[in-house]
Structure 1
Amino acid sequence: MGNREKLLDGALRCLLEKGYAATTARDIASAAGVSLAAINYHFRTTEALLNEALQRAIEQWADEMERALRDAAGVDGAAERFEAVWASVIASVTANRPLWTTQFEVVTQLGRQPAPSPAWSEPQAQAQAGLAALFHGIDPEAEPERAQVIGGFYHALLTGVVVQHLTVPDRAMSGRDLAVALRFVASRLVEV
């Protein structure tokens, strides 16, 4: 494993243990077993290294979710499949709590910036397209607008569910709760 990979692994360990704001270049270099100069050589800035490490971790989580969604695809019935998928998502959020708390810490940091961060625009678009494909098989290349809207809906739903499970898990929505609520909301949208 080269220094670049060691730095990414070390940065991720630090992010999950210390959080985004508390992780220093010295922490990462120490965790990776490389010199401080290696950060500048491979990433130019500590922030760029932390962002890439976090984005990789999110991609790994997305791969995990894709496997869970494929497993849930065998469940009979749309509502039952929806519940099974969300049960997997919620279990994964609980199992990956440090990853999610770090993501929300980054969101808070981004919210304090005077302008939106272009570095996070593409990963968000990819996440939304991926969610649309995973939940409904929507091809973002063939139907970009639909993928953006449906993926955005699932992204918003996921964010809210994660917040609930991180802050007050005993009052957080379950997969069944989400299915019941969505059925009710959908029925109200078709009323004249």
Structure 2
Amino acid sequence: MIRIPSRPRSELLAIGIFVAAITVLVTQFITATPAAVAVGDESTRIGSLGWQFTLRDAALIAISSYAAGGSTIALLNGAESTSSTVADTERTDPSAQQSTDESSNELLQARREEWETVSERLTSNEELVYQMVLEADGVLPQSEIVDRTDLSKATVSRTLDSLEAKNLAERKRHGMGNTVLLT
């Protein structure tokens, strides 16, 4: 079951501040006073030079800009902590962990049953690498495969390319190396 986390009050406050700040900014820029050039005592208007902001307008724009930026940073930090909290909950929630363990055990058992038919269509290096990852419960760093066998890094890499082409394994980037997963 997928849990959708509710938004905390601080995140809702940050969203409200962001919307209000953007509304103030848009309003200030739309309602700016046009600057006009006047010549002589009769104030004859010759042309427009652009837009003029009063000190009050400039202060509102500055405050709104800081509020929009601060609330954006708060929302982005909240999104990072929410994703890590969800991951932590999945790791610490016994029922979520148990269902994950059960499904992975079922998958590994099914993979072991398939092993007889799969092994017939693999070369010796492919069989060796596949069996090694299978014995490691379907997940093994690529560097471990190199360390545990007499195969070179290049040979292991080519062998994994072949297993990936046959949709039997997949490499995921993990730090400076790869983790091999059975598919």
Larger radius of gyration: 2
Structure number with the higher strand fraction is: 2
Higher RCO (Cα < 8 Å, 6 or more apart) = 1
Q: Which category of TM-score, normalised to the shorter sequence, fits these structures? A: under 0.3
Structure number with the higher helix fraction is: 1
* TM-score normalised over the length of structure 2: 0.27
* TM-score normalised over the length of structure 1: 0.26
